[in-house]
Amino acid sequence: MIKNASILKKLEDDFSRQEGRLPYSKSLKIFEYMWKEAINLKIWPPENPMEGIDVDIRIAKILNSCLKKSSQG
């Protein structure tokens, strides 16, 4: 869980300025390392994958209704 979003945003901005746009292969490698780290820390996979699904469904319904209303003009 991200506790301080501004620190993460600064890290991302600094990284982007230094590295520029990442090639797909490098992005995939970073993702794989992060995935393995989450498994090693025992925070992935979640103990209950359905936890919070009700909130996700409620948000999806709201977003979909907004999309339908905005497309009707």
Token pair for residue 56? Answer: 């996700």
Q: At a CB cut-off of 8 Å and minimum separation 6, what does 66 contact? A: none
Residue 19: predicted pLDDT: 84
Buried b (16+ CB within 10 A) or exposed e, 26-43: eeeeeeeeeeeeeeeeee
Per-residue pLDDT, 73: 62
Highest mean pLDDT among 44-48, 52-56, 64-68: 52-56
Average pLDDT over residues 43-53: 91
Confidence band for 1, pLDDT divided at 50, 70 and 90: low
What does R_g of the chain's alpha carbons equal in angstroms? 18
Residue 52 CA to residue 50 CA, distance in Å, equals 6
What pLDDT, on the 0 to 100 scale, is given for residue 16?
A: 86
For a pLDDT cut of 70, what percent of the chain falls above it? Answer: 97
